[in-house]
Amino acid sequence: MILAVKPVAAALTARLLGRPFSIAIPVGASFAQVGEFTFILGALAQRLGVLGDAGWSALIAAAIISISLNPSLYSWARSLRLAAGSSGQPPERDIPPPDQNRCILIGYGPVGRTVHAILTSSGTKATIIELNLDTVKKLRSAGYDALYGDALRPGMLEEAGVESAGSLILSADLEDGVEIVRRARALNPELRILARCDHLREAAALNMAGATLVAAGEAEVAVALAEALTAGAGAKTLLRQQSDIRSRLYHGG
Listed by start position, the domains of the chain span 5-85, 99-216
Q: Is the pLDDT of residue 242 over 80?
A: no
Q: Give the contacts of 208 (CB within 8 A, at least 6 positions apart).
A: none
**Per mean pLDDT, which of 15-29, 30-44, 103-117, 221-235 is the most reliable?**
103-117
Instruction: Convert the pLDDT of each residue in 175-234 to its tens digit.
Output: 889 999 999 998 899 999 999 888 888 888 998 989 998 888 888 887 778 777 776 666
- Dihedral class, residue 123 (left if φ above 0, else alpha if ψ from -120 to 50, else beta): left
Q: Which one of 3.30.230.10, 3.40.50.720, 3.40.50.2020, 3.20.20.70 gives the CATH number of domain 99-216?
A: 3.40.50.720
Measured distance between the N- and C-terminal CA atoms of the chain, rounded to whole angstroms = 57
Tell which residue, 121, 124, 149, has the closest CA to residue 135: 149
Question: Which pLDDT value is given to residue 180?
Answer: 92
Do the beta carbons of residue 143 and residue 120 sit within 8 Å? no
Instruction: Convert the pLDDT of each residue in 64-104 to its tens digit.
Output: 887 777 777 777 776 765 555 544 444 455 556 778 899 99
Which residues partner with 145 through β-bridges? 127
Question: Which pLDDT value is given to residue 18?
Answer: 73
Question: Which pLDDT value is given to residue 219?
Answer: 80
> Residue 35 gets which letter from DSSP?
-
Which H or E run includes 137? helix 133-141
Among 69-78, 79-88, 115-124, 153-162, the minimum mean pLDDT is found in 79-88
Q: What does DSSP say about strands 125-130 and 99-106: parallel, antiparallel, or unpaired?
A: parallel
Distance (Å, whole) CA 56 – CA 135: 34
Amino acid found at 34: V
Q: Give the contacts of 228 (CB within 8 A, at least 6 positions apart).
A: none
Q: Give the contacts of 27 (CB within 8 A, at least 6 positions apart).
A: 10, 11, 14, 19, 155
Distance (Å, whole) CA 23 – CA 82: 11
Question: Which pLDDT value is given to residue 90?
Answer: 45
Tell which residue, 100, 152, 154, 162, has the closest CA to residue 131: 152
Distance (Å, whole) CA 73 – CA 66: 10
Tell which residue, 165, 14, 27, 21, has the closest CA to residue 83: 21
